[in-house]
Each structure stands twice: as C-alpha cells, then as structure tokens.
Amino acid sequence: MGMISEFKTFAMRGNVIDLAVGVVIGAAFGKIVTSLVNDVIMPPIGLLIGGVDFSSLVVTLRAASTDAAGAAVPAVTINYGTFINVIIQFLIVAFAIFMVVRTINRFKKPEEAAPEATPEDVLLLREIRDSLKKQA
C-alpha cells in the first residue's frame, strides 16, 4: 500500500474526523469562554473589590526606559491579573467538559461484567467429583 493511500485511509477514519470537529468546536468554545470571563465575569468582580481591572494587575520588575541609543526599552512585568483571568477560564472550561462527560456517562449502559472463566484445575476437580458420585 502506498503512502498516499495509507494516509487517505488514516484521514478518512471516523475517529480522525471526529477529533478534527472536536478541535474546531473546542477553539470556538474557548473564544466564548474568554469573552465570558473578560467581558462578563471579571468586570463585576473587579468592581466589587474596588474598581480593579484584573488585566492591568502587574508587578513591575523593571520600569520602561530608554537605552543609550535613545530606543525605548519596554518594562519587565509579571502579569498576574492576566494569569488570574486564564485560571478562571480554565475552571469554566473544565467544569463544562465535566458536565458533558457526566451527562454522556448517564446515558451509557453499564457494562455487565463478563463471567470469569473457570480455571482448568477446578474443571478437572469437578469431573473427578462427578465420576466418583457415579461410581458410588
């Protein structure tokens, strides 16, 4: 089988197509969650704690300056407000995925445990027992 036909077989499997659809939908869902956090959830929280815009919360390690040639050197900051926004986005996405998986699991039939195969030595002992009962 040539590499092109092998790739075609791989790409046309249902699982690969399902994965591609899932990635596209996941990316769109990520944008929705980002907007929800940045535009709906964080402004009221910031207002409640004193009008703080979380995206502007930073720790400045080195202030902006200009070098000897006159070029601007940007400030070095730790953007912990943005990090808080990303954590909230993650929690929302994780909870949404949890709810979807939980719902799917409710609709699945519980798998019945297959009966374990009787060990061969037990079968042999049963045969011996049965033959002894017949002789008695």
Listed in sequence order, the DSSP H helices in 12-116 are 14-35, 42-48, 80-107
Residue 1: the pLDDT is 65
98 Cβ partners below 8 Å, 6+ apart? none
User: What is the C-alpha to C-alpha distance for residues 4 and 2, in angstroms, rounded to an integer?
Assistant: 5
Q: Which domains does the chain have, with CATH numbers?
A: 3-112 (1.10.1200.120)
> What's the pTM?
0.55
Spatial contact of 66 and 73, defined as CB atoms under 8 Å apart: yes
pLDDT by 10-residue block (mean), the chain, 136 residues? 79 74 85 85 83 83 88 91 86 84 81 78 89 84
- pLDDT (tens digit per residue) in 25-47: 888 888 888 888 888 888 888 88
Rounded to an integer, what distance in angstroms lies between the CA atom of residue 129 and that of residue 91? 62
